[in-house]
Structure 1
Amino acid sequence: MPEAEKYLDLPLEEVIGDRFGRYSKYIIQERALPDARDGLKPVQRRILYAMLKDNNTADKPFRKSAKTVGNVIGNYHPHGDSSVYEALVRMSQAWKIRHGLVEMHGNNGSIDGDPPAAMRYTEARISALAQEMLQDIGKGTVEFIPNFDDTAEEPVVLPAHFPSLLVNGSTGISSGYATDIPPHNLGEVIDAAIQLLDHPDSPLETLLSFIKGPDFPGGGTIQGVKNLKQAYETGKGKIVLRGTANIETLRGGREQIVISEIPYEVVKANLVKRIDEIRFDKKIDGIAEVRDDTDRSGLQVVVELKKEADAQSILNYLYKNTDLQVTYNFNMVAIAEKAPQLLGLKSLLSAYIDHQKEVVINRSRYELDQATKRQHIVEGLMKAISVLDELISLIRQSNDKGDAKQNITQAFGFTEAQAEAIVNLQLYRLTNTDIETLENEAESLEQTIQHLNEILNSPKKLVQTIKKGLKSIKKTYADERRTRIEDEIEELKIDLQVMIPSEEVFVTVSRDGYVKRTSTRSYSASNDERPGMKDTDDLQFFQEMNTTETLLVFTSHGHYVYIPVHQLPDIRWKDNGQHIGNLVSLDQDDHIVRAIPIRSFSEEQYLIFFTKNGIAKRSLLKDYQAQRSSRALIAVKLKEKDTLIDVVLTDGTHDIFFATKQGYGLRFAETDVNVVGLRTAGVKGIALKDGDEVVSAFTASQEEEGYLYSVSQRGAVKKMKWDQFPKSSRSKRGLTMLRELKKNPHVLVDITKATTQDVLMLQTEDEVIHAISGKDIRNYDRYQTGSYVLDTDTHGAVKHMWRYVDHETTE
């Protein structure tokens, strides 16, 4: 029998936790996050080292990118070729990296998001600045480790003779960590590093006098110096980054917006498409054409405006609603001391300086060792020339090279290394001039050894050496700052009244919550047909409005939705509208109770709210002018188990009328309800008996002549004169409107204001809607039952009544 299978009986959570922990550590340390010392991720470091080993340097011809990718995969980075090539390409893209580390011939992508050509078509080589990162790598400056298959060695970190992490920035997402380090100006970063070298205790404020802020390759403007300081102090923060746009006046008085710089990491093609969508959808009025005129001379996107358009407001709208202005989030996470850390500006510079000190010390030790060995050889050669005749004679008498070395060592006291150099000496070196060369070399070596010892033994000399190298790189490679910095974040003022295309439209809101706006042309072509909606649905609101106006939609949970008319979905008259739940997020059991058109919020008007539990609240209309329409806002604070049943707009001179389920009606002046703020609850409007609730509430002018139509669940409808309800004061029970019956009593379902010319719609439990003409209903007093207009035995009890909204009035 075969040997029994061996296995470990371990809890699943322990196995998964252990394996994911290993995976996370690998992703964090070996793939996604840069090293704080050289600013490179492992794949970037391996690409540069592989190109150096292949002699693919800035002073040599370009080589096929495929060759570099193959070398990297075969020797150092056993992953997909596409990921290696993408990393290679990114290091060459001038719009993504402040100072390119790779030079590339061929299509390496574009700022429009176009992909690069395949690696078999493009050619690449290390840039001159990248060679500064690799300089002295063969002088023992950094640690090397075996590669993945132990056939070669690779560096753990590059010498990096400039602060690459801050200069070029980095972005990446790993397991549990992400990093976003913006690029900076090379000259500013080097100045700050020199300051920290000279004064290690320099505060952040001093460093910020050198580093003004990020310097993005695409330019733009940063706003918010206060936020910058916080980001540099903690490593986390956000700034506003705005593209550069100017308003130009054309011949004839028309204006155009010319965009010459866009924010970092924004895809230009997407930005142009978004601006053109705003023009096409008529989100704002005034944009005539959007054109991308970018060419070899530079980036240029032109937004041509219509005559009389408000250019500044349109530009502010583009800043606010497109990626022409973005928020950049600092998250400066890097690998420091073999672990991911959130680092501030000073910590990042300190990590680089500590690394440079180690690199220069290791290089000095290596060069000192080489110089000492050479000095020893030179001393031997000089001594050999002084006894040249005897030396030649002794070598000629020797049997072979080994015998010659042994003979001259015994005769003249040369060391093994000196003897080796002597026997390998070429004959032309035995001239008189060569002794002078050796003497000069010996003198030079003495000075070099002295200099290297000073670096190793004097911290001051070490700092001077690092500073000298940094200044040299700054002089050779630094350029002017491209990104401007402004102290404050500009408040974007947008005059929507000017920019919104003024157009008369028909706005409808259905009882089930479907909203839309319809052009006058589509409405005129309908021949007075019923608008598109479900058979069981009906209009709650219908009115001709202007696109510059606003619709306030109130819901039963006490919320309201602020909808500028131009933002309503533009849908044909015969098609169903869009449910309001698609525009804003509402609770599942929430529904619309009222839609109110608003021409202007500046007028002295009031909103009065009525709830099922008899609460009345009066607030100023202007308090409900919202800045955003992306979510439902609180209109009235409701107590538990209370719901909003209606909202009305008044001028402050009306009377309020409450009607309850048990048939009580109360009328009082709206001034009895004090004006309160937005997030308040209101006051008691009517005193309710136990088990009673408000079924309807509305306002009417104090001199209004009209009728109240009421309906009970048994289908009894009656018409009452408004003056049957004398004015009282709030918080009373009111007057009864139903005759008391012991058997099958009437319950008030609804009551509404209407004229004899109106049509009343009654909905029964079988969901059938019945139309009743107002002129067919007789007058009754408060105590009478009314006329039975429906067979409730057939259709079920009446659920609701409303006044029909025709195409010229609202409910």
Structure 2
Amino acid sequence: MGERFSRYSRSIIQERALPDIRDGLKPVQRRILYAMNKDGNTYDKAFRKSAKSVGNVMGNFHPHGDSSIYEALVRMSQDWKVREPLIEMHGNNGSMDGDPPAAMRYTEARLSKISSEMLRDIDKDTVDWVLNFDDTEYEPTVLPSRFPNLLVNGSTGISAGYATDIPPHNLGEVIDAILYLQKHPDATLDDLMQFVKGPDFPTGAIVQGIDGIKKAYETGHGKIMVRSKTSIEPLKGNKSQIVITEIPYEVNKAQLVKRIDEIRLNKKVEGIAEVRDQSDRNGLSIVVELKRDVDSTGILNYLFKNTDLQVSYNFNMVAIDHMRPERLSLKKILVAYLEFQRRVIEKRTKFNLKKAQERQHIVEGLIKALSILDKVIKTIRASKNRKDARDNLVKTYDFSEKQADAIVALQLYRLTNTDVTQLETENKHLADQIASFEKILNNPVELNRVLSRELRELAKTYRNPRRTEIQSQVSDIKISTDVLIPDEDVIVMVSHDGYIKRSSIRSYKASGADNGLKDDDYSIFMKELNARDHLFMFTSKGNLIYRPVYEITDAKWKDTGEHISQTIGLDADEDIIGTFAFNSLKEPGNFLIATDEGHIKQTAFTDLTPGRTYKKHAYTYEKLKDSNAKVVAVKYLTADQQAGQLLLMSRDGLALRYNVQEVSINGARTTGVKSMALRNDDKVVDLQLVDETSVVAIVTQRGAFKKLAVKEIPATSRARKGVMILRELKNNPHRVIDFETIVDGHTPLEVLTDRKRVHDILPSEFSVGGRYSNGSFVIDIDSEGIPAVIRQKPSEITIN
């Protein structure tokens, strides 16, 4: 298997996928050009059916599928794929949209004019020849390639262990570099790059990154950015449009337009009104029409970053040199081409010299024969046949056999004085030619002069302006958040069970009371926010989940939304205990965090700003010492609230009030300081921000409700035991489940039980009790369940 694979690898490397360094052609391309030239299917003749050319190539030189031959033929005709097309084609030869060409029976093809330069002098022994696959005729191993096709048209291919990506270049620039290198063999890369500025793609566009070009030309490997040529045009009514006139090399135009339209439909970026492909026979034109008063530059930058309007191109300049694949520098390619062209001219000159010498020999014989014409005629008339006449001339007058053959074949009308003069003129001309050929072969300077003259003539005939603009620096693409995120108001909801969604105001109004949650689930956060706001969700296990509002799943209000665990894993007993929305990620305040095991801390907002992995991982905001511990409260404090007070209550009925300033500021991954001194297995149940006039509502596990004035609890200092706020009973004593600050007597409170039942309480219907009161029984725990949470009853959102 190894032996067979190595043979296969050698075959596809040398004879299929990689171009030759000398003519820049793969074998199939070379065979197509040679076969069409041999057939006389050239630029100065009529077009012929492509199927005829393909069949000819397949039958005589390339024993592979007709589709691969036709694809290679078509590609050489596509002026958006090759810088100088080698084939001219009538009919559908594909398009930039990725449309396939018409079948070969419908299209017609012939060699282009510049192809004649690839094949010029091929009949003068300039290249080596080998037998074809069935040994019936010879084919060239390389074409004379009188222009540097490898760089001009580039190449792309994949073989075993090797791939190549050589971009197209400008013919005039490459020839200028070759002429310079011819005079300065020690030229540096910088010298050559004065002429070859960089790739010149047939589709134009803009190349950025001179360092990448230089590295590629130095090592054969480098990366550049290719950016579409665009302009922003103003329209009536404060609107504008982005007009794209050139796109990067080998980008599918239809796919590009489709991708931009998908961005418009999916509202990935706000402000695109319409996308139109207005390309016609006059050129490419894609129009992205924008809405009124939008950041057109920002949208264009977004399209550069997220579509093929800008792509990277990786040089990988690999070609076959002396039957071996090599990664090549620019100078190595130019040197190899120059040496090849010198050999071509040398072989052509030897061929022409030999022809001229042979003709001169014949002419000299004819002149000699005409000078003794009567004797020659007498000898011929006395001969038996043509062979006898030839032998008699050789024997009698010392002619060579070739001269004697020419004399015998001479027509009678040539026996005039005029013809003698013509022969003498031809002889002189041949003598001059022979001297010229010998001078070229004997003097390398003369050979170089011939080569440079021919290259200049070729450049003069085929030079055309550069299409691709070269920019030295790769532009940084900065996308404004305002472009990415629509400036719209939405309704955001987070549920107790961990469902989260955002809905349009229109959907919220249309759905009424149906919020899409399951019967036993309820909302813990519901607010009208802007899509550019930021949501922080704190869990009872010390994890912080961050979501920009615009990234929250956009759902109908009557749909459930997405569960937070779809992206971030939560423990089964982990709840979201605090949700906050902010306009920016540069808020000046602190978060006040309390745990049930008696720790408290402040953490600056800036310490909790999200990192890059926020979509997949939660961020630790509180380090819990015990696996069973949990955070019971998270409050956000502005600078004004730093002068306020906080109130803590424990399960066993102890309350402690002190100033917020006593709580030190700690980092995110810390536990904090002691909040209150707990006895035995007592736990902190909640924390509230209060002042001297505050009244709190307390609910116990027995279903009792109690109002208590905060002034009843003396303000002391942090880490103390606190004072009792319930009367201790010997049998089934009351235990604090939760407490809440009463905003005013008219705002209802609701108690949520462990059976997911909701019990509404109107605080104004209850009087304020003393510290040693156990309150009034309001909840039947047998039928409704044990209270779990007391909170302000969420009010309906008022939509302006």
Q: Which moved more, 1:36-45 or 1:771-780?
A: 771-780
Would the alpha carbon gap of residues 647 and 98 (structure 1) be closer, same or farther in structure 2, given more than 3 Å must change? farther
Q: 1:545 aligns with which of 524, 529, 550?
A: 529
Task: Give 1:324's aligned residue.
Answer: 309
Q: 1:164 aligns with which of 120, 124, 149?
A: 149
* Amino acid in the other structure paired with 2:529: M
Q: 2:475 aligns with which of 461, 478, 490?
A: 490
How far apart are 1:237 and its partner, in Å? 2.1
Q: Is the 8 A contact 2:218 2:330 kept in 1?
A: yes
Task: Give 1:12's aligned residue.
Answer: none
* Amino acid in the other structure paired with 1:292: D
Q: 2:408 aligns with which of 401, 423, 435?
A: 423
Task: Give 2:557's aligned residue.
Answer: 573
CA distance in 1, matches of 2:44, 2:304: 44
Give SS of 1:492's match.
coil
* Amino acid in the other structure paired with 1:236: H
Task: Give 1:272's aligned residue.
Answer: 257
* Amino acid in the other structure paired with 2:232: I
Task: Give 1:225's aligned residue.
Answer: 210
CA distance in 1, matches of 2:17, 2:431: 47
Task: Give 1:600's aligned residue.
Answer: 584
C-alpha offsets along residues 63-120 of structure 1, whole Å, 9 cap, x if unaligned? 1111111112222222222222222111111112111111111111222222221111
Q: 1:304 aligns with which of 271, 289, 308?
A: 289
Q: What pairs with 1:293-692 in structure 2 (closer than 5 Å)?
A: 293-497=278-482, 500-509=485-494, 515-531=500-516, 539=523, 541-551=525-535, 563=548, 565=550, 567-578=551-562, 596-606=580-590, 618-621=603-606, 624=609, 632=616, 635=619, 650-651=637-638, 681-682=669-670
Would the alpha carbon gap of residues 625 and 214 (structure 1) be closer, same or farther in structure 2, given more than 3 Å must change? farther
How far apart are 1:699 and its partner, in Å? 8.4
Q: Is the 8 A contact 1:559 1:633 kept in 2?
A: no
Task: Give 1:6's aligned residue.
Answer: none
Q: Is the 8 A contact 1:540 1:805 kept in 2?
A: no
Give SS of 2:248's match.
coil
Give SS of 1:166's match.
helix
Q: Is the 8 A contact 1:608 1:616 kept in 2?
A: yes
How far apart are 1:528 and its partner, in Å? 1.3
Would the alpha carbon gap of residues 307 and 762 (structure 1) be closer, same or farther in structure 2, given more than 3 Å must change? same
* Amino acid in the other structure paired with 2:561: G
Q: Is the 8 A contact 1:310 1:498 kept in 2?
A: yes
Q: Is the 8 A contact 1:601 1:622 kept in 2?
A: no
Q: Unaligned regions of 5+ residues in structure 1, if any?
A: 1-14, 740-745
Cα RMSD (Å) of the superposition? 4.8
Would the alpha carbon gap of residues 501 and 472 (structure 1) be closer, same or farther in structure 2, given more than 3 Å must change? same
CA distance in 2, matches of 1:696, 1:29: 79
Would the alpha carbon gap of residues 291 and 377 (structure 1) be closer, same or farther in structure 2, given more than 3 Å must change? same
Q: Confirm whether residue 42 of structure 1 aligns to residue 27 of structure 2.
A: yes
CA distance in 2, matches of 1:749, 1:399: 142
Q: Confirm whether residue 143 of structure 1 aligns to residue 128 of structure 2.
A: yes
How far apart are 1:375 and its partner, in Å? 2.5
Task: Give 2:730's aligned residue.
Answer: none
Q: Which moved more, 1:67-76 or 1:22-31?
A: 22-31
Q: Which moved more, 1:122-131 or 1:297-306?
A: 297-306
Q: Confirm whether residue 201 of structure 1 aligns to residue 186 of structure 2.
A: yes
Q: Is the 8 A contact 1:541 1:805 kept in 2?
A: no
CA distance in 2, matches of 1:695, 1:19: 77
Task: Give 2:115's aligned residue.
Answer: 130
How far apart are 1:62 and its partner, in Å? 0.5
CA distance in 2, matches of 1:684, 1:662: 23
Q: What pairs with 1:83-98 in structure 2 (closer than 5 Å)?
A: 83-98=68-83
CA distance in 1, matches of 2:365, 2:693: 124
Give SS of 1:128's match.
coil
CA distance in 1, matches of 2:692, 2:647: 14
CA distance in 2, matches of 1:535, 1:46: 76
Would the alpha carbon gap of residues 93 and 426 (structure 1) be closer, same or farther in structure 2, given more than 3 Å must change? same
Q: Is the 8 A contact 1:180 1:330 kept in 2?
A: yes
* Amino acid in the other structure paired with 1:599: N
* Amino acid in the other structure paired with 1:354: E
Q: Is the 8 A contact 2:165 2:316 kept in 1?
A: yes
Q: Confirm whether residue 286 of structure 1 aligns to residue 241 of structure 2.
A: no
Q: What pairs with 1:97-116 in structure 2 (closer than 5 Å)?
A: 97-116=82-101
Would the alpha carbon gap of residues 422 and 601 (structure 1) be closer, same or farther in structure 2, given more than 3 Å must change? same
Task: Give 2:729's aligned residue.
Answer: none
How far apart are 1:544 and its partner, in Å? 1.9
How far apart are 1:753 and its partner, in Å? 6.3
How far apart are 1:181 and its partner, in Å? 1.7
CA distance in 1, matches of 2:128, 2:621: 67
CA distance in 2, matches of 1:435, 1:734: 136
* Amino acid in the other structure paired with 1:575: D
CA distance in 1, matches of 2:187, 2:509: 75
CA distance in 1, matches of 2:273, 2:575: 38
Q: 1:33 aligns with which of 3, 18, 41?
A: 18
How far apart are 1:780 and its partner, in Å? 12
CA distance in 1, matches of 2:277, 2:353: 59
Q: Which moved more, 1:511-520 or 1:522-531?
A: 511-520
Would the alpha carbon gap of residues 249 and 516 (structure 1) be closer, same or farther in structure 2, given more than 3 Å must change? same
Q: Is the 8 A contact 1:455 1:461 kept in 2?
A: yes
Q: Is the 8 A contact 2:213 2:223 kept in 1?
A: yes
* Amino acid in the other structure paired with 1:507: V
CA distance in 1, matches of 2:281, 2:717: 80
Q: Is the 8 A contact 1:611 1:642 kept in 2?
A: no
* Amino acid in the other structure paired with 1:409: V
How far apart are 1:426 and its partner, in Å? 2.6
Give SS of 2:230's match.
strand
Q: Which moved more, 1:748-757 or 1:177-186?
A: 748-757
Give SS of 2:511's match.
coil
Q: Which moved more, 1:717-726 or 1:327-336?
A: 717-726
Q: Unaligned regions of 5+ residues in structure 2, if any?
A: 727-732
CA distance in 1, matches of 2:250, 2:757: 61
Find the structure with the greater CA-based Rg: 2
Give SS of 1:124's match.
strand
